[in-house]
Structure 1
Amino acid sequence: MMKQQQQVAVAMAVLALVLVLAGAGGASAASCNVAQLAPCGPALSSGAAPSSSCCSSLKAQRSCFCQYAKNPAYGRYINSPNAKKIIASCGVTVPRC
């Protein structure tokens, strides 16, 4: 249970990092769900290559990046080296917020 919570937290952090780097705005709150980044948790915590489901989740949540970046709960994950690697590996462009 604790490990799953950590993975969700890590996934949320990845999303926040992507949001800060991506900076897309205008997404509706109903479509933004940081928990959808859970597939990125293992890559964020271990530095391993992201899964295809992680990359798909990042791309799907790209429009939410700025919203996530503004949330202080995700800030510590945003600048992590692993999050930057994930974003680069997935080929996600990062808009400015």
Structure 2
Amino acid sequence: MANKAYTLALIAMVVATMLVIEAPTPSMARTKCDITELIQPCAGSFLYNNVPPSKECCNILKAQKSCLCQYKSKYEGYAGSPSAKRVVSACKVKVSC
């Protein structure tokens, strides 16, 4: 149970890091910013280098693009992680905060 909670916390941090790397766009101004939506579809990609992000993971990242800079300010320590950069890059999400 503790291991599962640790894994989910780690995933949330990595996802937050990815989101920090992303820049907001006017078309996404009304997006609901909920980092927990990224945990399940993106977990494998953040934890394992050989797991590419799923289409669902990329779609959620793109939908929450306007939230990524907000996530960056909250989870700044994880924004530079290799996993976060790899997933964001694989999903072709441009980041500039």
* TM-score, scaled relative to structure 2: 0.76
Q: 1:17·1:77 contact (CA, 8 Å) conserved in 2? A: yes
Q: Distance in 1 between matches of 2:53 and 2:46?
A: 8
The alignment covers a number of residue pairs equal to 93
What CA distance in whole angstroms lies between the structure 2 residues aligned with 1:55 and 1:81? 17
Do the aligned partners of residues 25 and 92 (structure 1) sit closer, same or farther apart at CA in structure 2, a change above 3 Å counting?
closer
- Structure 1 residues 54 and 80: CA distance shift in structure 2, 3 A: same
Moved over 2 A (4+): 1-20, 25-28, 74-77
Identity of aligned residues (%): 37
CA-CA distance at 1:76 after TM superposition: 3.1
Match of 1:51 in 2: 54
TM-score by length of 1: 0.76
Q: Which protein has the bigger helix share?
A: 1
Q: 1:85 to 1:24 in 2, by over 3 A?
A: same
Whose Rg is larger? 2
> Matched residues in 1 for 2:11 and 2:67: separation?
14
Question: Which structure 1 residue ranges, 5 or more long, are not aligned?
Answer: none
Deviates more, 1:55-64 or 1:6-15: 6-15
Aligned mates of 2:2, 2:56 — CA distance in 1? 22
Question: What's the counterpart of residue 21 of structure 2?
Answer: 21
- The CA RMSD measured in Å over matched residues stands at 2.3
Alpha carbons 1:17, 1:78 under 8 Å: kept? yes
Q: What's the CA shift string for 1:39-97, capped at 9, x where partnerless?
A: 111110112211111111111111101111111xx233211111111011111111x22
Please list every run of 5 or more consecutive structure 2 residues that lacks an aligned counterpart in the other structure: none
